[in-house]
Amino acid sequence: MNMRFNTDDVFAQRIESSIQENVSLATYNTFRFNYSAEYFAIAESLDSLKALLAWANHFQLTVTMIGGGSNLLISADVSGLVILNRLTGISAREHSGNLVSLTVAAGESWHQVVKYAVEQKWYGIENLALIPGTTGAAPVQNIGAYGVEIKDVLARVQVINRNTGDVYWINGRDCGFSYRDSFFKGMWKDVFFITSVELSLKKQAELLLSYGGLSESIGERPSLQAVFDTVCRVRSEKLPDPVVLANSGSFFKNPIVSQAQHSELKERFPNLVSFPFEEGFKLAAGWLIDQAGWRGKQYKGVGVYEKQALVLVNHSETNAAALLELEAKIKRSVLEMYSVELEREPVQLPLCRESQQ
């Protein structure tokens, strides 16, 4: 590597030697698009992450942090330094009352964290089973499923300041959470990278079964383990495994409309699938796309998953061009049919750098 630190520090030299040039990102995004990182390194500890950020700052490079790659749409080569988050570690602190504090490093698999909590008989995240990606990505996207969002159990988030290397905690209530959104995805995306999270779980709690027909799927004897098993089974039946078929899970957010627009749509489309949400209604994007005739359709080497129209899949493409074309066609047809604009859920790189999933 031609770019070098002017330092005799052994650790810094070791970090510098671990930085690779022109590395393919095909295995680091679940769409498997074959774009390259200008520079690439793996962070396995806070110290190594600090050193990598210092290196990037020294050479005035942009920094992109990625984790499992399951919420990324890479559409071009990524300039600057791409850091793969592999920070690991889980610890728990049981309080005298009903609460358990679970601290999880950002590089841990989210699903494995959910599985671990269920095995310990701790309540709060069982509805979020089998969501792909790393724990550090969960707050960025405010992941959610079956009526539960990560913000509901997130006590605080540990972050590293990209510019200074300082590490500190931010209370969950201060992270600007909303539907599939947070400050980490917006105003903080160029400043903070998540290094750890602390979850507030419960030793005993009511199971939330009212969303998405979960209670009917579980049967007459609901339990913490039964909820976990059912969510895993239902998600496996509806969503393709990215290891088998390249995809990033739900590609579009469920659009939110006003009560007036919902009433108008309901009159025109009596079978419209929708749910009350805040001051308006949340529409089922998968239903809109399905009704527009896209479910199971293929376009060049990509397509819409046959079992769930919310999921776009990559059959054979090595770049994102066809997928971006398909996305535009779907959005245009839904807008023309329902006057509803769909919004993409995966984060596009290198246009923005907010995701760690």
pLDDT at 47: 94
Name the packing angle between helices 46-58 and 10-18 (round to 10°): 80
Q: State how far the Cα of 13 lies from the Cα of 5, in Å rounded to an integer.
A: 8
Residue, of 266 and 211, whose pLDDT is higher: 266
User: How far is C-alpha 262 from the chain's CA centre?
Assistant: 28
* 180 catalytically annotated: yes
Instruction: Please indicate, yes or no, whether residues 81 and 100 belong to a single structural domain of this protein.
Output: no
pLDDT at 216: 83
pLDDT per position as a tens digit, 271-326? 999 999 888 999 999 999 999 999 999 999 999 999 999 999 999 999 999 999 99
CA angle 314, 319, 321 (to 5 degrees): 90
| pLDDT surpassing 70 at residue 347 | yes
**Residues 139/167, Cβ–Cβ less than 8 Å:** no
pLDDT at 354: 38
| pLDDT surpassing 90 at residue 6 | no
In the predicted model, what is the mean pLDDT of the chain? 93
Residue 277 belongs to some domain of the structure: yes
pLDDT at 190: 86
Catalytic residue among 248, 250, 274, 355: 250
Instruction: Please indicate, yes or no, whether residues 260 and 295 belong to a single structural domain of this protein.
Output: yes
Instruction: Please indicate, yes or no, whether residues 71 and 100 belong to a single structural domain of this protein.
Output: no
Catalytic residue among 345, 353, 354, 355: 345
Residue, of 18 and 9, whose pLDDT is higher: 18
Between strands 298-299 and 302-304, the pairing is: antiparallel
Residue 136's Cβ-side half-sphere holds a number of Cα atoms within 13 Å equal to 27
Q: State how far the Cα of 217 lies from the Cα of 233, in Å rounded to an integer.
A: 10
Q: How far is CA 265 from CA 212, 252, 257, 261, 309, in A?
A: 21, 19, 10, 6, 20
Instruction: Please indicate, yes or no, whether residues 164 and 70 belong to a single structural domain of this protein.
Output: no
Start-end of H helices in 133-197: 137-141
Residue 214 belongs to some domain of the structure: yes
Instruction: Please indicate, yes or no, whether residues 94 and 186 belong to a single structural domain of this protein.
Output: yes
Q: What is the mean pLDDT of residues 127-135?
A: 95
* 250 catalytically annotated: yes
Cα–Cα nearest to 26, from 38, 34, 14, 16: 34
Q: How far is CA 285 from CA 22, 290, 330, in A?
A: 37, 8, 11
Reported as a pLDDT band with limits 50, 70 and 90, residue 213 is confident
CATH number reported for the structural domain that contains residue 155 in this entry: 3.30.465.10
Q: What percent of the chain has pLDDT over 90?
A: 85
Q: What residues contact residue 195 under an 8 Å CB cut-off, 6+ apart?
A: 46, 49, 87, 105, 106, 136, 158, 159, 160, 167
Residue, of 310 and 218, whose pLDDT is higher: 310
Q: What is the mean pLDDT of residues 64-71?
A: 93
Instruction: Please indicate, yes or no, whether residues 218 and 101 belong to a single structural domain of this protein.
Output: yes
* 109 catalytically annotated: no
Between strands 36-43 and 78-85, the pairing is: parallel
pLDDT at 183: 96
Residue 156 belongs to some domain of the structure: yes
pLDDT at 215: 81
**Residues 26/33, Cβ–Cβ less than 8 Å:** yes
| pLDDT surpassing 60 at residue 243 | yes
Instruction: Please indicate, yes or no, whether residues 112 and 215 belong to a single structural domain of this protein.
Output: yes
Q: State how far the Cα of 296 lies from the Cα of 343, in Å rounded to an integer.
A: 20
Q: What pTM was estimated for this model as a whole? A: 0.90
pLDDT per position as a tens digit, 76-112? 999 999 999 999 999 999 998 999 999 999 999 999 9
pLDDT at 11: 67
pLDDT at 353: 38
| pLDDT surpassing 70 at residue 4 | no
Q: State how far the Cα of 260 lies from the Cα of 252, in Å rounded to an integer.
A: 23
pLDDT at 214: 85
Cα–Cα nearest to 130, from 271, 240, 270, 260: 240
pLDDT per position as a tens digit, 12-33? 677 888 999 999 999 999 999 9
Q: What is the mean pLDDT of residues 245-266?
A: 96
pLDDT at 134: 96
pLDDT at 9: 67
| pLDDT surpassing 60 at residue 237 | yes
Read off φ and ψ for residue 170, nearest 5 degrees: -125, 130
pLDDT per position as a tens digit, 167-184? 999 999 999 999 999 999
Domain hosting 131: range is: 90-237
**Domains in the chain, number:** 3
Residue 352 belongs to some domain of the structure: no
Catalytic residue among 162, 180, 235, 353: 180
Q: State how far the Cα of 315 lies from the Cα of 155, in Å rounded to an integer.
A: 40
**Residues 64/104, Cβ–Cβ less than 8 Å:** no
Cα–Cα nearest to 357, from 15, 106, 89, 62: 106
Tell me if the bond preceding 222 is cis, omega within 30° of 0.
no
pLDDT at 10: 63
Instruction: Please indicate, yes or no, whether residues 275 and 333 belong to a single structural domain of this protein.
Output: yes
Residue 248 belongs to some domain of the structure: no
pLDDT at 211: 81
Instruction: Please indicate, yes or no, whether residues 200 and 149 belong to a single structural domain of this protein.
Output: yes
Residue 216 belongs to some domain of the structure: yes
pLDDT at 352: 43
Decide which of 237, 262, 279 is a domain's last residue: 237
Residue 208 belongs to some domain of the structure: yes
DSSP 239: S
